[in-house]
């Protein structure tokens, strides 16, 4: 049972990340850099394991998906062609009294979320009074829910139309009509809404002028599109096929808060699946399901995920949805599944003057393939895994422990080896066990403090197994293995340790469940 109050939980995650070497603020000795973070010794391992699981699930087990590693810098025309120079904007609005800047769309979405909360409260209230619920109460609850839902629908429709028409005056008018106030000043004294491009730029070479501006990629996807033909030809790929990659992306986010949820430098894991035109909606549905299953396989709880279909489609999409995760601050986007049509390849074809087509030997035609994209933020995934795993457990006798119930395959260390005492040949035997295991598993060694304290340290970083070498080990070549989640111990043969760790902690154990 958790003993942490919900309001402290998020703060607790951030301090746990720092205390145990998962995440540090970037350049902390200089007071940090806003919305940029560094992964420490534990975080780098956890992040690598999540990335490996994604890579294996996307590339290794699909014969028709290959992986690449494109450069962060790309020819600047890439971003003109993709639409990012002209359309990768956030609508911004300032409050004249507090001088704080907000994303206009976020202000409206938060207003809608508050109405959604009211609906949830009505439904919860009704469920609680279910037994003595009469017809009049039913009708009035229903009427209230409908009134709220109508309000949400009309805001959403108006907002979508305003954005699609790039009508920023109307976006401001919506904010005024909804009487949205600045959370700092409490006033409605808003500036006009302006568009703000999210791409960072720098320049190549010694001279800085318009001609050598280059961008830090805001998504990894374009590195895949511009390599579509290289990969298709050299890999002799037949439709449908996918190209995957993981790597850094950069966005000059205005509303950069909530720890690693929204960063200015982050990592994406994206896959573009190239399909025959006309089949894209079937593949879109396929990847929606496949990606949700991947998240569910982590075992963090099915109730923590939901789909959210997009109202406002990005400039390249004809269908799009998010897989949302229940973060400590509510359900938020974790992964996007987008049907990107042939937009990107056609644009690159036009801007580069090079044909980016596929010759279909079955129908004898050439065409530009359609694309279904899966795009997940590695840092957000990290946060979702960590936040769902961190528990403060009350123990018998009034004691408590902090434990990270990470999926064992993702844990930074798979096991920790302890000699019970620092004498009698126990450290030597423990070290030899460690030596045998370390080529296949990340294993920690600890001989300091009592075994109880050592267990606590490993619980806090999510190590699934602690192996203790005691005097009996010298006699019969067995050790105790203590399970993180149940705290139960078994006595097992040293010779079986490798097999046990493989069975319980390998990424294959997750892959097989897909």
Which residue number, 379 or 446, has a Cβ lying nearer to ligand GAP? Answer: 379
According to DSSP, residue 464 is labeled S
Which residue number, 259 or 455, has a Cβ lying nearer to ligand GAP? Answer: 259
Alpha-carbon distance 282 to 165, whole Å?
Answer: 29
Could you tell me which residues come within 8 angstroms of residue 244 by beta carbon, excluding any fewer than 6 positions away?
55, 58, 59, 65, 66, 67, 68, 224, 269, 270, 271, 272
Distance between alpha carbon 481 and the CA centroid of its chain, in Å?
Answer: 33
Structure token pair of residue 348: 């690159």
Query: Which residue stretch of 174-182, 206-214, 260-268, 471-479 sits at the interface with ligand GAP (rule: CB under 6 A)?
Result: 260-268
Which residue number, 194 or 308, has a Cβ lying nearer to ligand GAP? Answer: 308
Which residue number, 87 or 495, has a Cβ lying nearer to ligand GAP? Answer: 87
Alpha-carbon distance 213 to 376, whole Å?
Answer: 28
Minimum distance, C-beta of residue 72 to ligand GAP, in the bound complex (Å): 14
Query: Which residue stretch of 53-61, 263-271, 298-306, 463-471 sits at the interface with ligand GAP (rule: CB under 6 A)?
Result: 263-271
According to DSSP, residue 494 is labeled G
Residues 476-495 that bind ligand GAP (CB under 6 A): none
Alpha-carbon distance 472 to 487, whole Å?
Answer: 20
- For ligand GAP, the binding residue among 84, 172, 251, 291 (CB under 6 A) is 251
Minimum distance, C-beta of residue 326 to ligand GAP, in the bound complex (Å): 15
Based on DSSP, count helices (H) and strands (E) in the chain, helices before strands.
17, 23
Alpha-carbon distance 209 to 223, whole Å?
Answer: 25
Q: Should residue 253 be labelled a site residue for ligand GAP when binding is judged by CB under 6 A?
A: yes
- For ligand GAP, the binding residue among 334, 345, 390, 411 (CB under 6 A) is 334
Which residue number, 13 or 420, has a Cβ lying nearer to ligand GAP? Answer: 13
C-alpha distances out from residue 111 to 21, 98, 108, 183, Å:
37, 19, 5, 12
- For ligand GAP, the binding residue among 90, 105, 270, 459 (CB under 6 A) is 270
Which residue number, 244 or 334, has a Cβ lying nearer to ligand GAP? Answer: 334
Residues 179-238 that bind ligand GAP (CB under 6 A): 219, 221
* DSSP notation for 26-73: TTGGGT--TT-EEE-HHHHHHHHHHHHHHHIIIIIT-TTEEE----SB
Structure token pair of residue 78: 């890439």
Query: Which residue stretch of 38-46, 144-152, 332-340, 442-450 sits at the interface with ligand GAP (rule: CB under 6 A)?
Result: 332-340
Minimum distance, C-beta of residue 257 to ligand GAP, in the bound complex (Å): 11
Which residue number, 111 or 380, has a Cβ lying nearer to ligand GAP? Answer: 380
- For ligand GAP, the binding residue among 84, 262, 295, 414 (CB under 6 A) is 262
- For ligand GAP, the binding residue among 148, 215, 228, 266 (CB under 6 A) is 266
Alpha-carbon distance 267 to 264, whole Å?
Answer: 10
- For ligand GAP, the binding residue among 240, 336, 412, 462 (CB under 6 A) is 336
Question: Residue numbers of the site for ligand GAP (CB under 6 A)?
Answer: 219, 221, 251, 253, 262-263, 266, 268, 270, 333-336, 373, 375-377, 379-380
């Amino acid at each position: 049972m958790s003993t942490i109050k919900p309001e402290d939980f998020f703060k607790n995650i951030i301090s746990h990340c720092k205390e145990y070497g998962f995440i540090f603020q970037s350049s902390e000795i200089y007071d940090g850099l806003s919305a940029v973070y560094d992964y420490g010794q534990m975080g780098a391992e956890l992040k690598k394991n999540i990335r490996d699981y994604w890579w294996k699930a996307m590339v290794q087990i699909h014969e028709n998906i290959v992986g690449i590693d494109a450069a962060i810098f790309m020819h600047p025309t890439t971003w003109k062609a993709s639409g990012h120079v002209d359309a990768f904007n956030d609508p911004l609005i300032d409050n004249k009294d507090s001088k704080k800047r907000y994303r206009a769309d976020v202000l409206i979405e938060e207003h809608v979320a508050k109405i959604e909360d009211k609906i949830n409260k009505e439904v919860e209230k009704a469920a609680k009074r279910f037994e003595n619920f009469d017809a009049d109460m039913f009708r009035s609850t229903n009427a209230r829910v409908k009134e709220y839902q109508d309000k949400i629908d009309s805001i959403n429709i108006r907002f979508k139309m305003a954005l699609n028409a790039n009508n920023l005056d109307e976006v401001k008018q919506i904010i005024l009509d909804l009487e949205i106030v600045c959370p700092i000043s409490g006033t409605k004294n808003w500036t006009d809404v302006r568009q703000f491009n999210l791409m960072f730029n720098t320049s190549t070479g010694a001279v800085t002028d318009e001609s050598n501006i280059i961008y830090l990629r805001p998504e990894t996807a374009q590195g895949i599109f511009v390599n579509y033909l290289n990969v298709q030809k050299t890999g002799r790929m037949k439709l449908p096929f996918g190209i995957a990659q993981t790597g850094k992306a950069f966005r000059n986010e205005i509303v950069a808060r909530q720890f690693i949820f929204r960063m200015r430098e982050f990592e994406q894991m994206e896959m573009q699946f190239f399909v025959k035109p006309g089949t894209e909606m079937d593949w879109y549905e396929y990847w929606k399901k496949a990606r949700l299953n991947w998240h569910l396989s982590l075992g963090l709880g099915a109730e923590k995920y939901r789909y959210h279909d997009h109202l406002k489609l990005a400039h390249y999409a004809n269908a799009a949805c998010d897989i949302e995760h229940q973060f400590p601050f509510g359900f938020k986007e974790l992964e996007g599944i987008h049907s990107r049509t042939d937009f990107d390849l056609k644009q690159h074809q036009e801007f580069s003057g090079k044909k980016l087509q596929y010759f279909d030997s079955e129908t004898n035609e050439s065409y530009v393939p359609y694309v279904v994209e899966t795009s997940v933020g590695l840092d957000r995934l990290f946060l979702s895994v960590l936040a769902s795993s961190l528990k403060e457990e009350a123990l018998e006798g009034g004691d408590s422990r902090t434990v990270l119930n990470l999926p064992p395959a993702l844990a930074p260390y798979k096991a920790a080896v302890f000699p019970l005492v620092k004498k009698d040949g126990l450290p030597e035997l423990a070290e030899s066990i460690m030596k045998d295991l370390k080529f296949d598993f990340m294993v920690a060694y600890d001989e300091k403090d009592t075994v109880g304290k050592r267990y606590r340290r490993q619980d806090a970083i999510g190590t699934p197994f602690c192996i203790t070498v005691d005097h009996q080990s010298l006699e019969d070549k067995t050790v105790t293995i203590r399970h993180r989640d149940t705290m139960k111990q078994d006595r097992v043969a040293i010779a079986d340790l490798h097999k046990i760790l493989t069975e319980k902690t390998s990424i294959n154990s997750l892959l097989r469940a897909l």
